[in-house]
Structure 1
């Protein structure tokens, strides 16, 4: 960051940090116990990798790019001066997020350290007024911390109660597969994944509560004047469990990592940003083959879900009853698709993952491929470009008409 040119510094940082993380993950997997996590030192490194790469891109945006080249989100995150060594280490190694994160932007962290994060973002929703102006007071995170700790307790209790009763690897047990009707296998897989998710709910909610207890995570005020403490929250449990689309599920799961992937890859990739983002996510998670099977499957599911939403959803928006039917169908489809896709992420090994997919006859993969072929959809960037071209043509036509009117 200090010695490289601002033009290419973010690329060097990205390659070096991600490469070093992958090297350490290879060491952990193939030198230490495979799948046993006996020396899982890479968890904190995954978070620090996110922070270093985010910082590099934000410095590049703030100190090299012109203002007009940045999106509104990039303008907010852009860093206008090189951080000092103390600021750099504080951001990467602060005690609240060193073990489990979640990651955060450098500007949000600096605002927390300097105390400017407590200024209300919307003056009319401030928590008090004084002499016609909003009173600046430091809100208390107590209620949110207590609520999140209670959520942690419930999540942990559910996980410890159900994880041994509903193991995912039973889905590849020969006796279970041969003796259980397929529809019951689908139900069991959904319940097994439902029992597994509270483990992540516990970890991420606990990490969020730790940051909130330290005063970090304030995100303005609600309309009723109550403070919001969800700036660096990593998940929305109800939105996950009742998601009606694959994208909605991913947007509410591991939120800060999704934002990192979007900011450093999706918004900047020039060739198939969806595939590039899923590939980066797999590389960041580790070197277990199951991760790559999951994220490669995720590309197909994402493209198929996008095609269905673009081509079929408009027909169900005519009435509330039709919309309700569509939501129920897409909720069930989303839960099945997510459960099917993430099985290799849990099993990790190639053999067991392919054994599971064979027992399901690769049905979701085939369905997704056929859906994309039958229901093509334009990429968002292409749609945006066409809309911009149409708008430019429209503006050009208006200008020509105005000039003719003036001449007349």
Structure 2
């Protein structure tokens, strides 16, 4: 309730001011971090800080959307206009927005603009939630149950304690990587389960409606938190970012990353955004290591793509139909084993727990992305041939021809 009253005070007495944005971060993020300090243990804790971490981003986003709504329209970026709020909400509306039953515990994140459209009945059909929502929500529920079963199976087969057992330490390196990857996927299914079930509830309530597609069919991906196809079949780090925790990623992109243009460097903006998310997660060192590791993997991928693009014949070769299955398989394996290694510092939480398994795997992920690839990239930049620039034909244009063209 403290956060709700604070949100009301900030949005109604300081709307559209830089002070309001600063206060939102100090109060909401500060409240959450104080809670972490007193509530955190060596295990994952399900306490009041669990829904509070969702409400923190929701209320910060609310304040920033109202900040956008008070600006002249010509000074607001198009992507920010979609969520901008010109008229601040009252206390009851803020409470309803913050405590909405299908979005408080684990998400999804959604804007007040979407919530208002939902409350005003804009997503209804003949005054009722559209019938097409029923089957879609059932499918999300079933997917959540399947993920729950897989997670519980994995927790029994490869428990967290296994990574500090002598049996694991005695395994060959390759088998350590394999078991680490299986554990990672099984652990991620815990999050996938929660996202699918809560998203299903939001869809059934009508909040997930997202207009119609080109075929005239209802779309229900308005509050999507898990893209199952990309989550299970994606083969690069872009598909990873786009596949899970979509609401939080959208918040990070629109409310943090895109507002850091003043830094003048995309990579610096990206790294700052990831540090922000690490702080939001809590104080554990593993959070910061994982997000920095994520940053290096994305940079490595962009560098690899740029090398392929500039090397003569490489784009054409990788575009061949018979090559695509191999590139997909390579990408799928690479992102899974890489993410699995990095996730050890997040999933095992405490340094005393994750240090030994990371050490027993020779810090391979850190060495690969922090040292090996950056060095190899610099070598390849100098060694690989480069496409020649396409000559530009300059033609003289007379004043008469110029007038005709205009």
Same-fold call, TM > 0.5? yes
Task: Tell me if the contact between 1:307 and 1:372 (Cα under 8 Å) persists in the aligned partners.
Answer: no
Of the three residues 56, 62, 87, the one matched with 1:49 is 56
The normalised TM-score by structure 1 is: 0.82
Distance 1:323 1:161 in 2: 33
Residue 293 of structure 1: CA displacement? Answer: 1.9
Residue 328 of structure 1: CA displacement? Answer: 1.5
Residue 22 of structure 1: CA displacement? Answer: 0.8
Q: Structure 2 vs 1, CA of residues 162 and 57 (structure 1 numbering), >3 Å: closer, same or farther? A: same
Distance 1:324 1:69 in 2: 46
Q: Structure 2 vs 1, CA of residues 75 and 184 (structure 1 numbering), >3 Å: closer, same or farther? A: same
Of the three residues 7, 28, 34, the one matched with 2:17 is 7
Match of 2:282 in 1: 286
**Is it true that 1:201 corresponds to 2:192 in the alignment?**
yes
Match of 2:7 in 1: none
Distance 1:401 1:58 in 2: 51
Residue 153 of structure 1: CA displacement? Answer: 2.0
**Is it true that 1:165 corresponds to 2:157 in the alignment?**
yes
How many residue pairs get matched?
Answer: 366
Q: Structure 2 vs 1, CA of residues 147 and 405 (structure 1 numbering), >3 Å: closer, same or farther? A: closer
1:350-407 Cα shifts (integer Å, max 9, x gaps): 133232222222222222133235437xxxxxxxxxxxxxxxxx9xx99x9869956x
Task: Tell me if the contact between 1:44 and 1:98 (Cα under 8 Å) persists in the aligned partners.
Answer: yes
SS at match of 1:233: coil
Residue 83 of structure 1: CA displacement? Answer: 1.4
Of the three residues 370, 373, 379, the one matched with 1:371 is 373
**Is it true that 1:25 corresponds to 2:36 in the alignment?**
yes
Q: Structure 2 vs 1, CA of residues 197 and 136 (structure 1 numbering), >3 Å: closer, same or farther? A: same
SS at match of 2:157: coil
Matches within 5 A, 1:5-404: 6-8=16-18, 9-29=20-40, 33-35=41-43, 37=45, 40-64=47-71, 66-118=72-124, 138-140=129-131, 141-178=133-170, 180-269=171-260, 270-271=262-263, 272-312=268-308, 315=315, 316-369=317-370, 370-375=372-377
Q: Structure 2 vs 1, CA of residues 118 and 73 (structure 1 numbering), >3 Å: closer, same or farther? A: farther
Task: Tell me if the contact between 2:15 and 2:70 (Cα under 8 Å) persists in the aligned partners.
Answer: no
Residue 92 of structure 1: CA displacement? Answer: 1.0
SS at match of 1:320: coil
Residue 13 of structure 1: CA displacement? Answer: 1.0
Residue 62 of structure 1: CA displacement? Answer: 1.4
Task: Tell me if the contact between 1:300 and 1:365 (Cα under 8 Å) persists in the aligned partners.
Answer: no
Task: Tell me if the contact between 1:307 and 1:371 (Cα under 8 Å) persists in the aligned partners.
Answer: no
Stretch deviating more after TM superposition (10-19 or 316-325)? 316-325
Task: Tell me if the contact between 1:77 and 1:105 (Cα under 8 Å) persists in the aligned partners.
Answer: yes
